[in-house]
Structure 1
Amino acid sequence: MHFKLFLFIFFFSILSIQGQNTYVKTEHGLKAEIDSLVIELQFYTSKNVRVLKSKKGFDFEKNSLSVIAEPKQIEFKIIDADAHTVTISSDDLIVALDLVSGVVSFQDIKGTSLLKEKSNGSHLDPKMDVNEPSFRVKQEFQLDKDEFIYGLGQFQEGKMSQRNQKLFMRQDNKETVVPIIQSNKGYGVFWDNYAPTTFYDNPEVTSFDSEVGELIDYYFMYGKNADGVVKQIRTLTGEAPMMPYWTFGYWQSKERYESQEETVGVVKKYRDLGVPIDGVIQDWQYWGDNYNWNGMTFGNPEFPDPEKLTKEIHDLNAHIIISVWASFGPETTPFKTLKDKNMLLDFTTYPERAVNYWPAKPDDPLAGVKVYDAYNPEARDIYWDYLNKGIFSKGVDGWWLDSTEPDHLDIKDKDFDTQTHLGSFRKVRNAFPLMTVGGVYKHQRETTSDKRVFILTRSAFAGQQRYAANSWSGDIVSNWKTLENQISAGLNFVSAGIPYWNTDIGGFFAWEYPEGIKNPSFQELYVRWLQYGAFTPMMRSHGTTTPREIYQLGERGDWNFDAVEKFINLRYRLLPYIYSESWQVTSNASTLMRPLFMDFSEDTKALDLNDEFMFGKSILVAPVTEAMYTEGKNDSLATFDKTGSRKLYLPASTEWFDFWTGEKFNGGQEIEKEVPIDIMPLYVKAGSILPLGPKVQYANEKLGPIEIRIYPGADAHFTYYDDERDNYNYEEGAYATIEFTWDDSKNKLTVSDRKGDFKGLPKNIEFKILKVQDKNSSGIYPSTTKTNFLYTGKSKTLRIK
């Protein structure tokens, strides 16, 4: 959509207030000239308002890279509120513009204040961006002093609320920029600028300050609650498609498997052990040396037959994704093609040196690797053409798009002068991951609908959820503080509207543990990290130098092996719950990994907790983030002569059941839970229905029987979802749902008629109904009532005492 902000729309009636600036009613709102500024308010929906502020006479076009929605035709009213204020209102919002100061403020339809710009808080300071006239762009807001805000992407400082800090937001290995905040007051703001930006907050002011831009451009999104805000984010920037079912299983990776025999062998060993696995990841250098970096061919002689590689993995009922980068070595065909078309960016990226080891030495020869211009649609076409012919056609199931921020070594200001298809690199820096990930998604969708796109990627920008992307937290270090910081990093990331996120289980760099996997201290850290990883959207073990495969830990009967196997099996039992919740992500703009403010916004004690979260809307997860059975050192031993414990908070307004014991607790209190090495605190909210699948070796092995756990104490509802699991037929209605409804006062469970159909839908499913109750007369947890029945697709009501 194009905006010529220096023009007025003359075919609308011009309204004026005596002695004040004029404004013009437009198709979607209004436009006003105030001193040197042109200010426009546009309703995209009744809950979404775009605010644009530009300099008079400045001619430009702004095509949003993130927003794909067009403004809808909605009813709105314009009222001259007083001598210098005009308001524009929809069914949900009142937006006021001060025609003297240019300050914009937002209220709900009842007149309750939500957000207000700060007086004199709009700044467009002229500057040259290379040879283009531009501005330093800044907007200041005034938040309530007791307000909490979340989002901004992934920053690993361990903070939940993003108040009272300064963040320099430029894409980096472990920092992901998504310039969206949402407030516990039920609104969000998307700062639509792609340049490096400083976010600043203190009790007096909250601001976004971008290095370059044509205008101030942001969206105010009113959702009333956190899920509503996320819905508005996705209304603007795109919905999240369904991930393949198998991606929710367990993933094993290492930097790196050095031959196709080794890669296949990992899956074989898991199958031999009877430990579930669904995916293995092939990291870099299957292409050969660094001069052939990311050549999109299997140039390494240790990978002589890629079709055989993928076939053998598929024959083991597993899947493979493969590392692909946004850069190319000088001996590769893609490099030469892109160079001839001037589609390579001129700055130093990884790997800087030609050697296949890290760290390289200063006198090692340069590799000559360059990043491609992902902002150029023709370059994205070329990228996919080589990717499709060289890798996708070999049967690979998905993509590990590494370095999508991208790596920028030895940063110099002149690097940002580099020209891209959309202007200077400075102008569009933070949108690079959106461009390159989007190119792969769009091209694969055009190539086939028989295989769902799945992309694991190291960086993201606003709107990337529409590209089937699951971001991970970068090359983090293996230690307890880093593990703790992952929790709030991931929760703030998903608060910006992108639901799929994960982390290297165990941390990437294990250099604090030279003995690695053989060291009990690292093993304890790894076990706790894996327990946490079982409750993130992708359960993926990965790291360098220190292998992470379960058989490296020891053997069955060893504390470390058994604890890891227990949680891998638990992950698989939870797949029906996870997949049904992922359908809510797609169909209702929900979020799978949920900060507590999403579900307990009235509980002030829950608003700034950075060490626990909800997984789906039923399970409270409290990861263990400190050593209890070793000293946390490289030379320590594991001792289990006493059991450690972990304090956690149970949010108010509900009761909670200990997942492991069935013991019931009142919410609104802190409790202490014993945590032997094979237990991480999990609590299920009263009024929950939790489906658990059978024990399997891979996700699609068998459907049932399905255990339906009822956690009483309140009425409950759950939508059980299934489809063909690895194509896009669900977009045409090829899926089925079953509604489970629990009437707590009548102890009655109603299972609805099945709605919908798809190829391969089983006619019958065995359901095992289990009602979890408080302790019985003997003091044993849990006391349960069990009822089994064969579901044939027809409604059934059961009374369960």
Structure 2
Amino acid sequence: MPKLRTLFALFCCSIPFAVSAQKASYKKTEQGISLTFKNAIGTIDQHMAIDFIRDGIVHVRSIPLLHSVKASEQLAITDTLRSKPGELLVEETNDHVYVKSKAINLAVSLYTGQINFLNPSGDTILCETPRNTQTFAPSAANGDAFYRIKQAFQVSEQEGLYGLGQHQNGIMNYQGKQVTLLQYNTDVAVPMLLSTKNYGLLWNNYSITKAGDTRALLPLSGLTLYAKDDQEGWLSASYLNKADEKEVFAIRAESDIAYNDLTDIPKFPQGVDLSKSLVRYEGRFSSPFSGLHRLHFKYAGYIKVWIDGKLLQDRWRESWNAGSFELELTTEANKKHAIRIDWKPEGAQSYLEINWQRPILKSDQRIFGFDSEAGDGVDYYFIQGSNMDQVISGYRTLTGKAPIMPKWVFGYWQSRERYKTQAEILDVAKEFRKRRIPIDNLVLDWSYWPEKDWGGQNFDTARFPHAAEMISQLHQDHFKLMISTWPKVNEESTVFNQFMKNGWLYRRNIADGRKDWIGKGYTSTFYDPFNADARRGFWELLNEKLYKKGVDAFWMDASEPDIHSNISVQERKDVFQPSIGSSTRYYNAFPLQNAKGIYEGQRAEDPNKRIFMLTRSGFTGQQRYAAATWSGDISSTWNDMKDQIAAGINFSMSGLPYWTMDVGGFLVEKRYYNPNTANQEEWRELNSRWYQFGAFVPIFRAHGQFPFREPFNIAPEGHPAYNSMVYYIQLRYRLLPYLYSLAGKTYHDDYSMLRGLAMDFTNDPKTYEINDQFMLGSSLLVNPVTKKGASSRPVYLPSGFTWYDLYTGESYKGGQQIEAEAPFERIPVFVKSGSILPIDPLRQYTDEKIKGATTLYIFEGKNADLTLYEDDGLSYNYEKGIFNRIQIKYDNQTKTLTLSERKGKYEAAPKTRKFNIILVDQQQPSGIDRQVKPDASVTYTGKNMNIKLTNN
């Protein structure tokens, strides 16, 4: 009999009903149970299927009994799920049926269908809220009938909640927050939630979805507003000349600030040139509610926000690519707060929208919900593990493993917007080699094609007269070339008629005649990757025009798809017309299908050459297609740099391990185009700090608009900025054995390289909210500097460990916050006690054979374990077992290091390896910038070795 406390673990999981209430009928199935509710008092009529995929993974489906709709295509979940759970025990009480596996138990109410997920001891892990009349709301779009789907869960106050893709709000822990899962330039929708209670929820839905606190945002007019002269009902809006604020263009009352997209432009005062304006909103506001309020801002241009005289935000975004942020304010009901907003739009098309969330009712504070625009039913996977890595492993069981990227991917990449000619790119390659700055990959951004041939994938022979020879020359100089390819086709391109005739293109944008921003402007559209023939046709085009010329990797830009950045979401849906159903149902899945076509095409063309692609958007399962994602067209600002930390970590904690960003930021303020001395030095400092951060993410790639982004174009040799950028590029290559071993672990063990602190220090709740520190692997604690002029920064050192400065070896006790030194040329990086960190001699490219020994730094205080991984770095032979592992262990008590026998089938590995071994402890600090004599030097021949260590 289940424990009594199980039935009443949470109030939401125990709802009494009269004895005469209609109970569900249920039956045991091969993998779980199915239930049917009809005329039940406690819930809606529904059919439920609960299937155990394996002991720790449960698939839950609920669909209405009447008015069934077409089932959604299965895109994210792999079709190779053949595993069966262990023995399942099914038991019934008066009001529940229990389904038990070795890992988790389910208590399912026979009156409501509500599921309580329990651990084997009977404690609640997570509990559904009951489905009701709002769960399934009939709807339709483009002749596609579906339901709007809502499902909520009861979570505990203490847990941290992460994942959900990549978002630009700086939020780390989504407990109590709202996030919209909507593919957009800089935002990536991945409906996977990860909890510090070691479970995950994979919401199996492709439509635009609100997650977390799903209540509708309220307009600003929901608050009581007061003008500058204290009249009630609005704020005072002054449209001033930004060059001379004494000149007033217009003054008016505004109670809602909602300039969200192009259709809202006419709302601005007629005759006012926004590009010349400073819009100042002034007044006060109060709320009818007490508690925590959130103000949500969407903005473009310059914006400053003061509340009660305190400057809370000072930001900039390019006009065509709006950004967002949130402000929190705890207030008492009817208390007035002064507000001032200074907004400087850029251009006639500018955007500013402000909404707010009222405080959450106490009864709703532990609710986390999903609200999706379209689906055929409630459909999610509950994944349980003993830690968060096991949960992510469960996610990849469902959606596919992450292949090992080619080794060159883990070097340094150089890009800019853009190399305009063949000569430019070859000159940059030559300069890197001349200066001996390590590098592996050069990136050719868009518009290498003739202007009107966007989508034809042809090089403009006037600027790239010998593209194949150019690529061959780069290969001879040990460079790879990645090239930008868009899923977009111009009406005047060389392939438009073929693609249109075959039915491979979305037609609405052509019918609307909407033009892009290149040259005279061209009418264009996107191909349909939901059509298998279109996917094959698109790959064949890339193959013939680019891959066969020697291109090494594809950069899949605008893969949201980005029809136009500032049209409304509904207009984007109208243009995006998948062949398998409505855009409303499949909105978020475009990048997944786009990546699928490239991966399958290239794998068939060149079966044993590892694939790599970079995409601007991602979705559930995209990791299986060798796709990394970058954070889109972010701005070159200190705020945007900081926001990338939480954005990248949460993306990784969504189960997709390979993430990067435009190091240096893409969009640039005009003050940096022709800078004065102060602006030039800030530009150099900003880029230095960003390079320092970028060296520790899975892919290290500098990119952006003018000014040029090569280190030698940012600062002259000898400048601290130049010294720092080169130092961290070199450090990246010295860390290659660590990085590539993490890549091997990512595939073989379903690991995550980029890690939120809560993943490794779940027992330390102080780590749950930290949004500006992260772990690279299990050893390196990375702490980017994101404030101009900073020479130190606060760093929290998680409890339970001693922490060593990477550069000097100085030690600090965990469980405390310190003010860490951060001189211009360094960011604070600490190594956890019980770590073994391999550091190689310097290379100029990843496949260069090193001369000299690998140094193994042993950070004393706990037992340590490292598995060095090696394979050929280029092929898929590792899938056939052709790889090696060398397990290295350190016994902290006996001070003995063990190099185990090499295991594996990769016979091309070096037969011998030299290791210098340095024991770092509190009595003898040593780091990568503080050289000491090795405690031991050995030649490893692949046989087991034990080395007794004593400090010199």
Query: Counterpart amino acid of 2:522?
Result: A
Distance 1:530 1:729 in 2: 33
Which residue, 373, 395, 398 being the options, matches 2:553?
398
Which residue, 58, 82, 85 being the options, matches 1:49?
58
Alignment coverage as a number of residue pairs: 763
User: Which range moved further: 139-148 or 510-519?
Assistant: 510-519
**Which residue of 2 is the match for residue 329 of structure 1?**
490
Matches within 5 A, 1:704-783: 704=851, 705-758=853-906, 760-776=908-924
Change (3 A) 1:787 1:516: farther
| Cα offsets for 1:618-662 (capped at 9, x unmatched) | 110011110116xxxxxxxxxxxxxx2111000001111111111
Distance 1:212 1:372 in 2: 23
| Cα offsets for 1:436-473 (capped at 9, x unmatched) | 01110111111113421011110000111111111000
Distance 1:762 1:219 in 2: 44
User: Which range moved further: 482-491 or 508-517?
Assistant: 508-517
**Which residue of 2 is the match for residue 660 of structure 1?**
807
Matches within 5 A, 1:185-584: 185-201=197-213, 203-289=365-451, 291-348=452-509, 353=515, 356=518, 365-409=520-564, 410-411=567-568, 413=570, 415-416=572-573, 419-511=577-669, 513-515=671-673, 519-584=680-745
1:75 counterpart = 2:230: no
Distance 1:735 1:700 in 2: 16
**Which residue of 2 is the match for residue 29 of structure 1?**
32
| Cα offsets for 1:488-532 (capped at 9, x unmatched) | 000100111000001101100011533368811011010000100
C-alpha displacement of 1:206: 1.3
Distance 2:695 2:735 in 1: 10
C-alpha displacement of 1:734: 1.7
**Which residue of 2 is the match for residue 182 of structure 1?**
194
| Cα offsets for 1:378-403 (capped at 9, x unmatched) | 10000011110110000011111101
Distance 2:863 2:931 in 1: 20
| Cα offsets for 1:670-729 (capped at 9, x unmatched) | 111111111110101111111111111111111452111111111111111111111111
Distance 1:490 1:347 in 2: 34
C-alpha displacement of 1:773: 2.5
Distance 1:653 1:108 in 2: 26
Distance 2:563 2:156 in 1: 38
**Which residue of 1 is the match for residue 238 of structure 2?**
none
Distance 1:416 1:405 in 2: 11
| Cα offsets for 1:189-225 (capped at 9, x unmatched) | 0111111111132614211111111111000010121
Any idea what SS the aligned residue of 2:685 has? helix
1:102 counterpart = 2:102: no
Instruction: Tell me if structure 2 keeps the 8 A contact 1:478–1:512.
Output: no
C-alpha displacement of 1:554: 3.3
Distance 2:838 2:925 in 1: 27
Any idea what SS the aligned residue of 1:257 has? coil
Any idea what SS the aligned residue of 1:406 has? coil
C-alpha displacement of 1:351: 12
Any idea what SS the aligned residue of 1:446 has? helix
C-alpha displacement of 1:297: 1.6
User: Which range moved further: 40-49 or 750-759?
Assistant: 750-759
Instruction: Tell me if structure 1 keeps the 8 A contact 2:856–2:917.
Output: yes
C-alpha displacement of 1:20: 2.1
Distance 1:204 1:615 in 2: 31
Instruction: Tell me if structure 2 keeps the 8 A contact 1:152–1:492.
Output: yes
Any idea what SS the aligned residue of 2:671 has? coil
Q: Quote the RMSD (CA, aligned, Å).
A: 2.2
1:159 counterpart = 2:181: no
Instruction: Tell me if structure 1 keeps the 8 A contact 2:416–2:708.
Output: yes
Distance 2:789 2:577 in 1: 53
Instruction: Tell me if structure 1 keeps the 8 A contact 2:171–2:771.
Output: yes
Distance 1:162 1:546 in 2: 36
Instruction: Tell me if structure 2 keeps the 8 A contact 1:311–1:395.
Output: yes
Distance 1:730 1:29 in 2: 36
Query: Counterpart amino acid of 2:688?
Result: V
1:111 counterpart = 2:122: yes
1:687 counterpart = 2:834: yes
Distance 1:408 1:83 in 2: 56
> TM-score, normalised on structure 1?
0.92
| Cα offsets for 1:238-262 (capped at 9, x unmatched) | 0000101111101000010001111
Any idea what SS the aligned residue of 2:646 has? helix
User: Which range moved further: 17-26 or 129-138?
Assistant: 17-26
**Which residue of 2 is the match for residue 614 of structure 1?**
775
Any idea what SS the aligned residue of 2:935 has? strand
Change (3 A) 1:412 1:710: closer
Distance 1:384 1:777 in 2: 54
Distance 2:833 2:932 in 1: 15
Distance 2:123 2:426 in 1: 60
Distance 2:76 2:867 in 1: 31
Any idea what SS the aligned residue of 2:595 has? helix
**Which residue of 2 is the match for residue 800 of structure 1?**
949
Instruction: Tell me if structure 2 keeps the 8 A contact 1:78–1:86.
Output: no
Instruction: Tell me if structure 1 keeps the 8 A contact 2:809–2:925.
Output: no
> TM-score, normalised on structure 2?
0.78
C-alpha displacement of 1:748: 0.6
Instruction: Tell me if structure 2 keeps the 8 A contact 1:516–1:522.
Output: no
Any idea what SS the aligned residue of 1:86 has? strand
Distance 1:696 1:552 in 2: 22
Distance 2:638 2:871 in 1: 39
C-alpha displacement of 1:366: 4.0
1:38 counterpart = 2:47: yes
Distance 1:667 1:330 in 2: 61
Distance 1:605 1:281 in 2: 40
Determine which structure has more spread, i.e. the larger CA radius of gyration.
2
C-alpha displacement of 1:535: 0.3
Query: Counterpart amino acid of 2:474?
Result: I
Distance 1:154 1:99 in 2: 38
Any idea what SS the aligned residue of 1:255 has? coil
Query: Counterpart amino acid of 2:733?
Result: Y
Distance 2:380 2:729 in 1: 43
Query: Counterpart amino acid of 2:855?
Result: E
Any idea what SS the aligned residue of 1:482 has? helix
1:790 counterpart = 2:951: no
Distance 1:470 1:72 in 2: 28
Instruction: Tell me if structure 1 keeps the 8 A contact 2:23–2:37.
Output: no
C-alpha displacement of 1:70: 2.1
| Cα offsets for 1:31-53 (capped at 9, x unmatched) | 11113111110111111111101
Q: Percent of aligned pairs with the same residue?
A: 36
Any idea what SS the aligned residue of 1:344 has? coil
1:624 counterpart = 2:785: yes
Any idea what SS the aligned residue of 1:466 has? helix
Distance 1:22 1:776 in 2: 70
Distance 1:19 1:170 in 2: 40
Which residue, 5, 20, 25 being the options, matches 2:23?
20
C-alpha displacement of 1:419: 3.7
| Cα offsets for 1:270-293 (capped at 9, x unmatched) | 00011111110000111111x310
